[in-house]
Amino acid sequence: MLVNEHKFLEVICGRQSGVAPALLRGLLSLLEPFYLAGAQSKNFLFDTGLKKPQRVSSRVISIGNVTTGGTGKTPTVAWMCDFFERHRLRPGIVSRGYRSLDDEGNDEHRLLQKLCPNVPHFQNRDRVAAARQLIDSHHPNVIILDDGFQHRRLHRDLDVVLIDCLNPWGYGHVLPRGLLRESARGLSRASIVLLTRADQVTEAEKEIIRQQVRSYTDCPVVSSRFVPTGLRNSGGEIASFSELQDQKVFAFSAIGHPEAFRRTLNSVGFELDDDRFLQFPDHHHYSAEDLSKILKTASAKDSVSLMTTAKDLVKIGDDRIGDLPVWAIEISLEILDSQAVWEETLLNAASDERLPES
């Protein structure tokens, strides 16, 4: 599965050449219109009023994207929770709970519990039911609907759409030929667009993305980046990057954009060759066999420490794999421009009463 997902992405992005990849891209192109028709049909029902979004008594802010995974929704949700708490609001989180194994929820739920310990988080495939349960039990005045852009059944007061500057349009095709969940024209529903990883492209490249966004919507467009802040293990111990930079390290991840994680590692002084990085599918649940493979591969490279993401660490739940310590890189969202517009938009959507920051 690990190898197949990586090869699949290599095929759809066009890096794999030859007869077999070309045939596969052709087959996927034949399937693409069917997926697109399904997405357009659902949107048509809501756009024309044949289906009505269901309202709840709290304000709802949706965070989503037009491509599959890896745009940075989880650190953005954490930033918003902190922001609203500082403005004396009571946020709550609702999400689907994709690939949950038990009552503790999926990897995003476990990570957000650590990042936002005072914010209730309900997961349910029925997001309307989850929102109502959250309101009944915790009385939030603003609900953050995680990954909600395509889930139109729950009414929202603001649609925040994240676009990853490293792959803004999912290779230019809708699933399964590309990574778009719907046509990019769906951006016309966005209230505000947040460009993520804007620091990892040139100003010229960022401006092209901005112009592309503006061809679909005239809503505000804000740039951001994810700043690595330090290292932490599952026991809560903290380390600086400089403490480990002289060590031989090995990295692994199971996230939607592993290449962005590698770029983050490089930015703080850990430059890893391909043979020092192991990639698993997004939301992958680590088995004992997986952990053994990580340990064996890392040990063969004389590694003395393991690096992963905070989202991966919560699934492992231990500060060591075998005799090797495991460290997660912590990141936080930083707004690069139009911060006043960004914050004003969020506060206006979250509350009728403007409260001073505490």
Q: How far apart are CA 329 and CA 311, in angstroms?
A: 10
Beta strand 324-335 with 305-309 is parallel
List Cβ neighbours of 143 (8 Å cut-off, separation of 6 or more).
Answer: 56, 58, 59, 60, 61, 91, 92, 93, 94, 131, 134, 135
73: annotated binding-site residue? Answer: yes
By the 10 Å C-beta count (0-12 exposed, 13-18 middle, 19+ buried), 93 is classed as buried
Residue 43 token pair: 């949107």
Six-digit token string for 255: 């996230």
Q: Is 74 marked within a binding site? A: yes
Flag whether 202 is marked binding. Answer: no
- In DSSP notation, 164-225 reads ETTSTTGGGSBTTTSSBSS-GGGGGG-SEEEEESGGGS-HHHHHHHHHHHHTT--S-EEEEE
- 13 sits in which H/E element: none
Distance between CA atoms of residues 109 and 111, nearest Å: 6
264: annotated binding-site residue?
Answer: no
Question: Is 297 labelled a binding residue?
Answer: no
Helix axes 73-86, 107-115, angle to 10 degrees: 30
Q: At what angle do helices 19-47 and 2-12 cross, to 10 degrees?
A: 80
Distance (Å, whole) CA 194 – CA 164: 9
Residues comprising the binding site? 67-74
Binding residues for ATP, by number, are: 67-74
